[in-house]
Amino acid sequence: MDRALFHAARGLGRTSPNPLVGAIVVSADGVIVGQGYHHRAGEAHAEVNALDEARGLARGATLYCTLEPCVHHGRTPPCVHRILEEGIRRVFAAIEDPNPIVSGRGFAFLREHGVDVEVGLGADASASLNRPFFTLMREGRPFVILKAATSLDGRIAETAGRRTFLTSTAANRHAHFVRAHVDAIGVGVGTVLADDPELTARGIFRERPLVRVIFDRRLRTPPNAKVLSTLNAGPVMIVSTPEAFRRADVRKPLEDAGATIDASGDGLRETFQRLAAERQIGSLLLEGGAAIHTAAWDEGLVDYVRLYVTPHVLGNGGVELLPGRGFSSAALFDRRVESLGPDVVIEGYVHRTG
């Protein structure tokens, strides 16, 4: 199962909105005869790739897979049928698929057809690998990662609206690696006005388009913003209000520059749910600034926090991260700390994941 989980992780950044899944076929005499993983949405599932590699040696074998085999016909045929055809005798699966069109039906089908099924081996690791998929299935919204760079005294900028450079080259490289593996980046218009970011993954290969979302109630985003010059990296969506949308003088230049305007004016939860339903966004990296971070936190939409803590001290005049919310990185679950040059990344889940 550890080997299957290793293979599952090879699809990181490529399979969304599908989960990361790996599979191993072990012959009756204990030899690994097939290994596979899900490469990308629309292509063969991990079980099929592993069985293809087994080349007919799967009869009487055991299949280890990191998620329940599918039983429905989507863009690919049901994996359970192929498992039966190849003569698999036993299946060890890490966890049940939360997708309501599967959700235990794959296990039931296999058992009804004489396959011995055991569930739970590697469950925690599989769930951790697939937090975005599980959030998408269970809550109908993306898995939200709050990302911020802070000074040693917990400030994210010297003052509101001023661009403040805090992180080192090593931390910036890490941040771009993270960008390469999420479905979308979200920022408030204040960040666009202060920093004029490109919001792309630089210095690392990214296979899929990266959706950039700007939360801008009054359509203050400049049509010449750098992010609108990078449409080859992925679409740019501006979330605004019906009132602002009716102002053709500000809307039309942004649309001409390539932006898509969402003028629903709903709250963040509804907006996130639309991102999931309409654009298949399973993970959203919320990079700031303070207003959008606070709004997402107050609506209970933040699932994970990643902080790049730097040795700078900005003092009492600096902009705080989540002011008055009693936030402490020490309260994060499954907390992880890593040194990145002079900086430290501290990350973990907001809620207990077990």
Q: How far apart are CA 203 and CA 227, in angstroms?
A: 17
Q: Tell which residue, 126, 136, 138, 143, has the closest CA to residue 349.
A: 143
Q: Is 48 left (phi over 0), alpha (psi -120 to 50) or beta?
A: alpha
User: What is the length of the chain?
Assistant: 354
Angstrom CA distances, 286 to 23, 78, 103, 148, 304, stand at: 32, 35, 30, 8, 10
| Environment class of 4 (CB within 10 Å of its CB; exposed 0-12, middle 13-18, buried 19+) | buried
Longest dimension (CA), the chain: 72
Tell me the C-alpha to C-alpha distance, in Å, between residue 296 and each of 105, 293, 304. Answer: 35, 5, 12
**How far is residue 91's CA from residue 107's CA, in Å, rounded to a whole number?**
9
Round to whole Å and give the CA distance between 264 and 283: 21
Active-site residue list: 47
CA 252: distance to chain centroid?
31
